[in-house]
Structures are given as C-alpha cells and as structure tokens.
Amino acid sequence: MKTLYTAAQMRQMDREAMAAPYGLSPTVLMENAGAAVIAKGAAYVGGWNRKRVTILCGKGNNGGDGLVAARHALAAGAQVYVYIWGDETTYSPESREHLQTLRAMADGKTCVLAETPGALPDLAMLRRHIESSQVVVDALVGTGFHGALREPTATVVRLVGKCIRTTASPVVLAVDMPSGVDADTGAVSGDDPETGAITATATITFGAYKRGLFQYPGKICAGEVLRDPIGMPFPVLQRTAGTVTYMVEAADVAARLSLRSPNGHKGMHGTVGIVGGSESMSGAALLAACGAVRSGAGKVCLRVPAKVAPACMGKYTEVMAAGAGTGGHFTEADVQTVCEEARNWSVLALGPGLGRYAETQAFVRQVLQRAALPVVLDADGLYHVQAAQDIFQQRAYPVILTPHLGEFSRLTGCSVAAIQADSVGTVQAFARSRGVYVLLKGTPTYIVSPTGQTVYVNETGNAGMSCGGMGDVLTGIVAAMWVRETHPAPAEAAFMAAYLHGAAGDRCVRTIGSYGYTPEELAKAVPQAIRELERQAADRYREMVPSSHFEDQGGGE
Ligand SMILES: NC(=O)C1=CN([C@@H]2O[C@H](COP(=O)(O)OP(=O)(O)OC[C@H]3O[C@@H](n4cnc5c(N)ncnc54)[C@H](O)[C@@H]3O)[C@@H](O)[C@H]2O)[C@@H](O)CC1
Ligand SMILES: Nc1ncnc2c1ncn2[C@@H]1O[C@H](COP(=O)(O)OP(=O)(O)O)[C@@H](O)[C@H]1O
Ligand SMILES: [K+]
C-alpha cells in the first residue's frame, strides 16, 4: 500500500530527519529535492540538453527547490529562465544559500534570472519565455499552501494555464505539489482547476506521498506522481503516528485473495443474504445478488417483498430467491420471517431497492436491532436509519455502511461541499461516533473503521461507473468478501471489494468501452479482475524465485 500523509505529518518528518540522531541539514534536503526534479523529470522532457526551461520560484522552500533545480538543469545542458519575485530577507537560510549560488551562475544567456523583489514579474516577458520553452518547472508553492492563492502567484498561475491551453504545450513539472492544490484535501484554489492551480504533466513529490495528490481535483492537476525519498532516513518515512492513510494497490488485494482451499465446500465461502427490493425497484436487490455470486460467495439467498418475487425468480438460477410477506414493500410484519432466515446466513446485505415507504422504516430498524449477524447497510436502508443512528451501538455484530456522498450528507447533516473539503476527517469522526465501518463511495472511495486511525483509499474505477445500479453490485461484493474462508476484518473486506469493483469497471472499459456498460456486465467482470490479480501475484512469485527452481520441479527433459 502507498502511505499518504498530510502536510503537517510531512513537516514533522522533515523535522525528525533534521533532528538528532540523523541531523540532516536542510540545505542538503533542498539540494536533493531540486536534483530529484531534474533526474526524475528527464524522462518526460526527453533529456535536458539544449532544452529551454522556465522555472517559477515562490518565496518559500518550494521556491528554494526550484533554484536548485535550475542549477541541475543547467548542468544537464539546458537554458533556464528563472523567475523570482520574493523578498530575499524573508527566505529560509537554505533558499538564500542556493539563490547566491544561482546568482553567481547567471550570465543572461544560458541562465537568465528575472528578479522583481516584492513586485509582479514582467508578464509579457514571462509569456514569451513560457511560449518558447519546452519545459516549465512549477516551484511556486508546495505543502505550505492552503486556501486561495494570493497575488502575484495567482496571476502567474492563471498565465501559465492560459499559455498551456492556448499556444505552447510545454511539459510542466510540479515540484512536490502542483501549486494551488491543498496537500491535505486535493482542493484547488478558487475551486477551478483550470485557473486556480497549475496542471502538471508530472509531479515529483518529496519524502512521502501527500494525500491531496490523489484526491480530486488535485489529482487532475498532479498528472503522473513520482516520489523521491530525497535521502530522508527510512525509519522517518515509515512513521505511523496519527491518522495513516493507505492507498490500496493490486498487491494488497491479491495477497488477501489467496486461492480457495482445494478441498473446500460451499459452506466455507459464506452464505450471503440479500434483503431489498420493492415494487418500483426489484433490480437493485438482484444486482446485489449478482455482485455476491460473481465474487465467489458460497451461497446467495435473496429475499424480496412477495409481489416482487415473480420478477426475481430465475433471473440468476444460482440465487435462492423467495418472497416475504404479501405486499410490494417490506413492513414490520416481515421482521420475524427475515430474522429467522438470517440465522442461516453469514452476512446480511440490507437496503438495495427497499424504497422509502413509511412502513419500511420500522422493518429496517427492527431487523437491525434483532438480526444476529454482520450487516452491510446500503441505499434506502441508510435512509431509514437517519433519525435512529444509535441503533448501531446497540448491536453486538458489526455493520458496514456503504453510502455515496448524498447519502453520507444526509446521515451526517454536513453538506456535500463540507464533506469534500475534509473527506477523511468527516468519515473518521462519523465512524467513531456511531461505532460503524464506513465505505464512502466516490472518487476516491474511503474506508474507515470505528476505532482505527487507519483510512484506506481506493482509486480503481472510472466515470463509466457513474450510472444507477453500480453501488448495488458493490454491496453484494462487500458482503461476499466479508464472509470469505479467510475471515477478513471488515475494513479489509470493504477495501478488497472497493478495489475489485473498480477493477472490474476498468476491465469493462477495455472490453466494452468507456461508458454504457451495465452494472450486470461489471459484476460479470469481477472474476476476470480476480484472475488478473492472481496472475500478477504469480508473476511476482516467479520473479522472486529463480527459474532453476521451476526447471527442477518439471523433472527435466
Ligand atoms: N525540510 C523541508 O522542510 C523540505 C522542504 N522542501 C520543500 O519545501 C516545501 C514546503 O516549504 P514551505 O513550508 O516554505 O512552504 P511553501 O514553499 O510550499 O509555501 C510557503 C510559501 O508560499 C507562500 N504562500 C502560502 N500560501 C499562499 C497562498 N495562499 N498564496 C500565495 N502564496 C502563498 C508563503 O507566503 C510562503 O512564502 C515543500 O513543498 C518542498 O517543496 C524540500 O526542500 C525538501 C525539504
Ligand atoms: N467517475 C467515477 N470513477 C470511479 N468510480 C465511480 C465513478 N462514478 C461512480 N463510481 C463508483 O460507482 C458506484 C456508484 O454507486 P452508487 O452511487 O451508490 O450507485 P447506485 O446507488 O445507483 O447503485 C460507487 O462505488 C462509485 O465509487
Ligand atoms: K509547486
């Protein structure tokens, strides 16, 4: 897993690297950072020799990195135009040191320094330089940025954006963070990625990954993200104090998707009970059932209101579908039947397509109170518990809630904008206060446990998945992952499911097209997504084990 950090955590790591026992000097760290931009950027630039490069330096340490990068670009044969408008007296000692060195190298030809202390740079000249450059290096602001860009940085960022969109199309390398992107939240200055932040081809980030590089809209601005440890001590970079955010990767899911026991039987792979559907929405519960089947559940039982049952029977022959009660939606009268049946299930997925009928509210709440098994609660199931959230703490069995942003906004009473401004903090606070696991769907998806400081982030998936029914399939996948024979912890089951759901969507893009594929097609692609992970795991194993090992096993010819 990639570990993602906040700006404050990164600052703490910097302090630790510079303090005893390591005692790294800030000048050395800055040197390594600037050098890393040129070394890692070379692949995007096609080599630096004879390239014209415009380097924009802010007045903080991010700008200091830019000054070092300028010197390394020169050494690699480039011609540099360096823009500096800060007041030198406010610079950090290390930035000042690197500025002195660069000044000594400025010859007005290969190294042009445009210094306008405390004033706006000459914008006409800057435009000409950008338009004639093959590369722009953005060293305006890094992890020190929050809120909205102030002048003159805001004007320069807008100008760079305009030049890139209209005339020139240089490679843009962002130093540590694309300027204008909040390192903690991915929010962009002024809320408009086109004018509020630099949009980079690639971002070379230092020490550890910052969260904002993987959260929209910052993710768009960052381009490809490359990390360079800049010589920071390994133990410092492994810090896990405070909230730790992990980006789920293929290997993390592959490692947990161990092959089934060769002598296994269906009883070992869990029985998923799906309770959902109503007269207007029978499809949602069916899709959840399909998701569970395609994710390897041992058995899948579907319970829908009696009037809905005929439409569900036989749709998936392997699903044991049956009606409950007499009506077109669930009511209090169905609680007993469902809770009795649930005794035979390993997990209950409750909610898809239930509808928002007043009578269904009592049904949902009582099932949650009485059913003695783990529950995945989704969609209208979430709607019916909005005003009764203390229900979760009264349960002896865990609950995973799978809201999308709109549902989560209703549950928390926070606006969607407020959640997006601090998704990690909001979801953590909610999970803690309610004692539930939360899988907050979106781009990315967040998975949080009720006690842990750990937050998992999943970024598989694509815009083709923004259509009705995709979340229902996910509900079934979460339930099936949770009852695997390996008994994953709830948060693990949730992040495996989120990863596979997105990976199956990504497969659909490759085999069908970027949109228009159906939730059912996505569910059907889950086994292929699993196979892909197994292949990757096998390849990694082969890489680790010498080929002679396999030859020996074959017995020779
Ligand atoms: N040991 C360290 O701390 C290291 C830090 N490094 C670099 O230092 C950066 C952090 O440096 P700083 O803490 O100086 O912060 P930054 O350079 O990222 O930003 C602070 C500067 O930007 C200005 N600024 C802040 N908010 C602004 C806004 N809204 N509009 C316009 N200007 C704004 C401030 O006035 C200040 O001058 C990292 O991103 C990284 O690039 C690297 O040199 C590696 C080592
Ligand atoms: N643009 C996107 N990129 C990645 N994943 C997406 C995108 N749009 C939607 N998804 C995923 O698709 C699912 C949609 O769920 P949801 O909104 O609950 O759908 P429904 O309620 O109609 O079933 C979520 O898992 C979400 O993360
Ligand atoms: K930057």
Distance linking the first and last C-alpha atoms of the chain: 41
User: Is 58 touching ligand 1 by the criterion CB < 6 Å?
Assistant: yes
Rounded CA gap, 157 and 174, in Å? 12
Question: Is 101 annotated in some ligand binding site?
Answer: no
User: 471: CA distance to ligand 2 center in Å?
Assistant: 6
CATH number of 251-257+265-541: 3.40.1190.20
Measuring CA to CA, which residue among 402, 427, 400, 412 is closest to residue 243? 427
Cβ atoms < 10 Å from Cβ of 380: 25
Assess: ipTM above 0.85: yes
User: 45 Cβ partners below 8 Å, 6+ apart?
Assistant: 51, 134, 135, 171, 173
Element containing residue 4 per DSSP (H, E):
strand 2-5
Counting ligands in written order, which one lies closest to the CA of residue 444? 2
Residue nearest to atom 19 of ligand 1 (CA): 144
Residue written as token pair 């030049």: 163
Counting ligands in written order, which one lies closest to the CA of residue 174? 3
Counting ligands in written order, which one lies closest to the CA of residue 142? 1
Cβ atoms < 10 Å from Cβ of 128: 14
Rg (CA), the chain: 27
DSSP letter, residue 227:
E
Positions of the chain with pLDDT under 70: 168, 191, 240, 545-557
User: 66: CA distance to ligand 3 center in Å?
Assistant: 9
- Measuring CA to CA, how many Å separate 379 from each of 262, 376, 400, 491? 36, 10, 12, 19
What is the structure's pLDDT at 536?
83
What is the structure's pLDDT at 557?
36
User: Is 179 touching ligand 1 by the criterion CB < 6 Å?
Assistant: no
User: 494 Cβ partners below 8 Å, 6+ apart?
Assistant: 400, 402, 437, 439, 447, 456, 478, 481, 482
Question: Is 518 annotated in some ligand binding site?
Answer: no
- Mutation probe of ligand 1 site: the residue of 141, 158, 182, 195 with most atoms within 8 A of C-beta: 141
Fold of the domain spanning 2-242: Rossmann fold (3.40.50)
Instruction: Domain ranges for the chain, please list them.
Output: 2-242, 251-257+265-541
What is the structure's pLDDT at 555?
40
Ligand 2 neighbours, Cβ below 6 Å, are 379, 404, 441-443, 445, 461-463, 465-466, 468-472, 474, 501-502
Cβ atoms < 10 Å from Cβ of 279: 16
Q: What are phi and psi for residue 192, nearest 5 degrees?
A: -120, 105
Element containing residue 74 per DSSP (H, E):
helix 61-75
What is the structure's pLDDT at 494?
98
User: Is 377 touching ligand 1 by the criterion CB < 6 Å?
Assistant: no
Question: Is 185 annotated in some ligand binding site?
Answer: no
User: 33: CA distance to ligand 1 center in Å?
Assistant: 13
Answer yes or no: are the C-beta atoms of 75 and 102 closer than 8 Å.
no
Secondary structure tally for the chain: helices H, strands E: 23, 19
